[in-house]
Amino acid sequence: MNESREAAERRARNRFIVMSALRLGGVAMVLASLLLLNGVIPLPRVVGWVGLVIGLCDIFIVPQVLARAWRTPVP
């Protein structure tokens, strides 16, 4: 695949933005879950635990999965 250097840089920048946004969203979810677990937000505690697990996955697992998928060449 012959793509220009500018297109490759644009694609890399967009992928970096997506991964950063996912991590930031995960951090926001973890913080909201901690507020919920401390009783600041009036919702059931199970919602806080589920949000905490999902937020941690967004921070640590999802960006690695995306990076691996984007690294693999498409046939």
Q: How many whole angstroms separate alpha carbon 9 and alpha carbon 11?
A: 5
Identify the CA nearest to 52 among candidates 42, 74, 37: 37
49-70 mean pLDDT:
94
1-29 pLDDT per residue, tens:
556 888 889 998 999 999 999 999 999 99
Tokens, residue 3: 């793509």
Domain of 40, in residue numbers: 5-71
- Give 74's pLDDT tier (boundaries 50, 70, 90): low
The total domain count for the chain is 1
SS3 5: helix
